Amino acid sequence: MKKTKFVRYWPAFILLAAFILSFIVPAPVINLGKAWCLPSLTQNPLGCSPLGQDLALLILSSLKETLLIAIAGRCFALLLSVLGFFAAWQGGQFIESSLLRLSDALLTLPALLLALAAGFILGSGRISMILAIAVSEWAVNQKWLIGRLREYSRATYIEAARSGGAGKFFIMVKHFSPPLREDVGLLFFLFFPGSLLNVTALEFLGLTASERLDGLGYLIAAYRDAIFLYPHVVLFPAVSLVLVILLAVLAKDVLQKKKYSS
Amino acid sequence: MVRFLNKIAGGWILLLLILTILATGLARYRGGSAAVVLAGQRATSAELLEMQGELQQDKIFIFELAHRFSKIIQLDFGETIRKEPILPLIFSGFQITLLLSGIAALGSLIYGVGLAVLANIFTGSKRILIQFNYLILSTPVFIIALFLLVMFALYWPLLPPGGTQLSGWMILPALSLGSKTGCRLFLFADEFFEREYSKQYVKTARAYGMSRANIIFPWTAKNIALPVLNYWLIDFASYLAGAAIVESIFSIPGIGYLLLQSLHQYDTNLMLGILIMVSLAVYSVSIAQEALDHWYKRYSGK
């Protein structure tokens, strides 16, 4: 019984394995003698980059960068939203409606455009990419969590706790934290594929994490002109990116089904 | 009504304030600056100071913010760093992007709903279609655009690779832009069809021996029309976001291309104008969607 329970989370496990693997494998080494080399079973299974780096290693190191930014961006956005949730509970109606109004206003701007503008203001770099993703995704998380706050605070057990004399802080810690943990976990996976798409789009449009090591979107943008002569340098990163996003979508679906079936 | 208008106006002013802070921040704290773009990399510090004065970047932050905000409230976006008036520039870009988005939206509606109807009549291929649409949904827009560009403009030169001069220029960009929305619409419509099939009226009709096609057209399609239309309108923002990527790949001078240009040149006035107009467009569509929903509920007595 337990085995089947874990088997259905296979997309999340593969994604996690790829993320861990990207930290374990060595960084791709520049070897100009092997520039543009074609895929071969014996030496470089996916071929080489224009700088002679092994493409498989390059894809893994770029994947690390992309996943790292997407995960950190989502975590940061969720952290801000949870802080907003607690502030709305402690501060009452005024803070709650202000946060809702702010998130409504931000939601009128497409997340990618907002991230693009925020990213360019903050400049290139890992931190600025993370902040740009967090800023663009905060609004939707906040709106969701405030909706949940309204649901929680109307629950009978909360009303009972309040009439029993429990303070706001006590209710927040004792009664809101357990269901909130579950909601935050679901929210993380629910919008994770979207974050990945936004991160790669930002990388593709030139907002890169660092000058030395870049994400998959940047890899595709940088080598796209070579697509006719050396299709493998674009094809393999593109396929890996699609697979990673597909795994994230499948993991999201499994969690969503589990949540709504229960 | 007054409350509704107050909510809209309040949201708008807040958004304008956020965008103004964003743009003024860009002008002030970004590593490069519009003055460097205009004066060139080899400009002396005196020339840079003069250029900054011309661009009004030598003011105190809060005064600059107040000055900019007072102008933005009157929808006066001013000029670009190259002294071109911004509003006509945005309107010309918007025309192209809206044309592209319109074609993409129409195409995605036809694809999504049409495929969902077909998949629910001929149920044999439904699973494969769902998997295929998941795959497209997981593919970033820029990969779809690059794939279409390579296949249909370079490998088989059937369609123009970019620009807006040649006839049929909008086919590949609109396909790239609408592909993901079409897939989302298909999955959404299919889910609604499934929900409708579990209802009693469908079970009764099936028990009387009616075919799926005969159930879909008078009844099921009518029931899912509004949710699908609502979803289609809600997704409008994704066209404008995708436009930034698609227009940069196909070199189309639309609003997305203009936005990227403004960001690369630190042209904060232009960036601000574009973001405000985009948000205005999304806001208008969401109000239209709300009104449609409201009208339908009154009409159907729900």
pLDDT digits (tens, 9 = 90+) for B75-117: 788 888 888 899 999 999 999 999 999 999 999 999 999 999 9
User: What pLDDT is stored for residue B302 in this prediction?
Assistant: 57
Token pair of B55 as six digits: 């661009």
- In three-state secondary structure terms, A129 is helix
Most distant pair of Cα atoms in chain A: their distance: 76
User: What pLDDT is stored for residue B41 in this prediction?
Assistant: 66
Please name the member of B137, B242, B263 whose beta carbon is closest to the beta carbon of A249: B137
Distance between CA B70 and CA B74 in Å, rounded? 7
What are phi and psi for residue A54, nearest 5 degrees?
A: -65, 125
Shortest CA distance to B89 belongs to which of B261, B285, B264?
A: B261
User: What pLDDT is stored for residue B4 in this prediction?
Assistant: 63
Q: What are the b/e assignments for A95-123, b being 16+ CB within 10 Å? A: bbeebbebbbbbbbbbbbbbbbbbbbbbe
**Residue to substitute from A62, A106, A113, A124, interface B, most B β-carbons within 10 A:** A113
Bigger pLDDT: A102 vs B218 = A102
Q: Could you say which residues from 9 to 38 on chain A have a Cβ atom under 8 Å away from some Cβ of chain B? A: none
pLDDT tens-digit profile of A86-99? 999 998 888 998 89
- For residue B275, count CB atoms less than 10 angstroms from its CB and return exposed for 0-12, middle for 13-18, buried for 19 or more: buried
Please name the member of B26, B245, B279 whose beta carbon is closest to the beta carbon of A108: B279
Token pair of B211 as six digits: 């075919």
Distance between CA A231 and CA B18 in Å, rounded? 43
> Tokens 């206003």 appear where?
A105
User: What pLDDT is stored for residue A193 in this prediction?
Assistant: 94
Average pLDDT over residues A151-156: 89
Interchain pair B11, A104: CB under 8 A: yes
User: What pLDDT is stored for residue B301 in this prediction?
Assistant: 65
Distance between CA A65 and CA A130 in Å, rounded? 11
Q: Could you say which residues from 219 to 248 on chain A have a Cβ atom under 8 Å away from some Cβ of chain B? A: 220-221, 224, 227-228, 234, 238, 241-242, 245-246, 248
- Average of per-residue pLDDT values in chain B: 84
**Residue to substitute from A122, A196, A204, A225, interface B, most B β-carbons within 10 A:** A204
Rg of chain A over Cα atoms, rounded to whole angstroms, equals 22
CATH for B90-300? 1.10.3720.10
Q: Record the pTM.
A: 0.88
Interchain pair B11, A105: CB under 8 A: yes
Answer whether B85's CB lies under 8 Å from B241's CB: no
Give A114's contacts in chain B (Cβ within 8 Å): 275
- Which residue of chain A is at minimal alpha-carbon distance from B132? A246
Helical ranges in A108-215 per DSSP H: 111-122, 126-154, 156-163, 168-171, 177-190, 192-204
Give A193's contacts in chain B (Cβ within 8 Å): 138
Amino acid symbol at B9: A
Average pLDDT over residues B137-154: 92
Answer whether A120's CB lies under 8 Å from B274's CB: no
Bigger pLDDT: B67 vs A77 = A77
Average pLDDT over residues A237-260: 90
Bigger pLDDT: A117 vs A24 = A24
DSSP letter assigned to residue A48: B
Q: If interface means Cβ-Cβ distance under 8 Å, which residues of chain B face chain A?
A: 7, 10-12, 14-15, 18, 22, 25-26, 29-31, 134-135, 137-143, 146, 150, 154, 237-238, 240-242, 244-245, 248, 259-260, 263-264, 271, 275, 278-279, 282-283, 286
Is the C-alpha dihedral spanning A238, A240, A242, A245 positive or negative?
negative
User: What pLDDT is stored for residue A146 in this prediction?
Assistant: 93
Distance between CA A72 and CA A130 in Å, rounded? 6
**Residue to substitute from B184, B233, B263, interface A, most A β-carbons within 10 A:** B263
Lowest mean pLDDT among A72-76, A77-81, B31-35: B31-35
Dihedral (Cα; A141, A145, A146, A152), 10-degree rounding: 170
Token pair of A245 as six digits: 């996003």
User: What pLDDT is stored for residue B95 in this prediction?
Assistant: 93
Interchain pair A117, B279: CB under 8 A: no
User: What pLDDT is stored for residue B179 in this prediction?
Assistant: 94
Write down the domain spans for chain B: 2-73, 90-300
Average pLDDT over residues A154-166: 89
Nearby residues of B150 by Cβ (< 8 Å), 6 or more positions away: A227, A228
Please name the member of A104, A123, A241 whose beta carbon is closest to the beta carbon of B140: A241
Answer whether A108's CB lies under 8 Å from B282's CB: yes
Residue A208 has pLDDT above 70, yes or no: no
Nearby residues of B114 by Cβ (< 8 Å), 6 or more positions away: none
Share of chain A above pLDDT 90, in %: 43
